[in-house]
């Protein structure tokens, strides 16, 4: 079966673009940023309401029945503690998605390696992570590195949630002033031309678009999925520390 590869449209090159068209493109990008922020707030709100709020409500029910005279006091107490610990873990996971305390210390490669280790720990997936020269990658503009990490987080989450696969491959490469990310899985796949684009993929496209990048999605039913993100680096290269 032949896979269906589609290139998701991005902003056109601006080298010879008329000023009015450039202003329209800048306005469109600004609107996309605002929309992405609103979508992210909505996602966080839903996560708080549908998941964490439900966990805390259950914990409250158990705590409300805690009385020393109750014959199942110890069991109810343990159950309430377990549910509260679950809520704490969910909040910690949500906070980890929002705030990246260790990114400056670990960098892009270290952060992706930590993510890979977390996925491997579940033993549900075999994950392969390869990358080009670490110094070249870590010399990139910090905003690009954070954007790439967010894209990886989003796609790995999509794979875990929807793919029903067992293998994930992640590759990061910098060459010829271009950054290339590829994430592949061996899951059930889908037809990208007929499948509705979800919030996760929309976020990936919007993040890539901010840097005039391109997203290529290659998938078909029963053939897994390949996501490629290409970002031109010439306008965004950060100088290495030893560069004058």
Residue spans per domain, the chain: 16-99, 104-244
- Give pLDDT tens digits along the chain (244 positions): 555 666 665 544 444 456 677 667 666 666 666 676 677 777 777 677 767 777 887 787 778 777 877 888 888 888 888 888 888 877 877 766 665 656 778 899 999 998 899 889 878 899 999 999 999 999 988 888 988 998 998 899 889 989 999 999 999 999 878 999 999 999 999 988 887 777 678 888 888 988 889 999 999 999 999 999 999 987 555 443 334 3
pLDDT at 98: 65
For residues 152 and 115, the answer to whether their CB atoms sit within 8 Å is yes
pLDDT at 4: 65
What's the DSSP call for residue 140?
B
pLDDT at 66: 77
pLDDT at 242: 37
- Give the angle 4-160-39 at the CA atoms, nearest 5°: 85
Contacts of 1 (CB under 8 A, 6+ apart): 220, 221, 222, 223
What's the DSSP call for residue 28?
H
104-244, CATH topology level: Heat Shock Protein 90 (3.30.565)
Q: How far apart are CA 61 and CA 157, in angstroms?
A: 31
pLDDT at 240: 37
């Amino acid at each position: 079966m032949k896979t269906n590869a589609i290139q998701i449209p991005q902003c056109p090159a601006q080298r010879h673009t008329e000023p009015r068209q450039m202003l329209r493109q800048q306005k469109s990008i600004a609107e996309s940023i605002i929309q992405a922020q609103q979508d992210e707030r909505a996602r966080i709100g839903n996560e708080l309401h549908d998941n964490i709020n439900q966990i805390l409500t259950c914990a409250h029910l158990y705590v409300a029945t805690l009385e020393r005279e109750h014959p199942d006091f110890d069991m109810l107490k343990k159950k309430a503690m377990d549910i509260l610990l679950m809520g704490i873990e969910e909040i910690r996971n949500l906070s980890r998605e929002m705030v990246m305390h260790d990114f400056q210390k670990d960098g892009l490669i270290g952060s992706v390696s930590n993510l890979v280790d977390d996925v491997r720990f579940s033993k549900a997936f075999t994950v392969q992570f390869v990358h080009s020269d670490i110094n070249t990658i870590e010399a990139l503009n910090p905003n690009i590195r954070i954007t790439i990490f967010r894209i990886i987080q989003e796609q790995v989450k999509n794979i875990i949630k929807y793919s029903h696969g067992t293998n994930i491959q992640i590759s990061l490469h910098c060459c010829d002033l271009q950054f290339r990310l590829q994430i592949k899985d061996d899951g059930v796949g889908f037809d990208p031309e007929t499948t509705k684009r979800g919030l996760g993929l929309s976020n990936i496209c919007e993040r890539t678009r901010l840097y005039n990048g391109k997203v290529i999605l290659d998938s078909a039913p029963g053939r897994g999925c390949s996501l490629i993100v290409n970002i031109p680096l010439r306008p965004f290269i950060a100088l290495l520390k030893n560069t004058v």
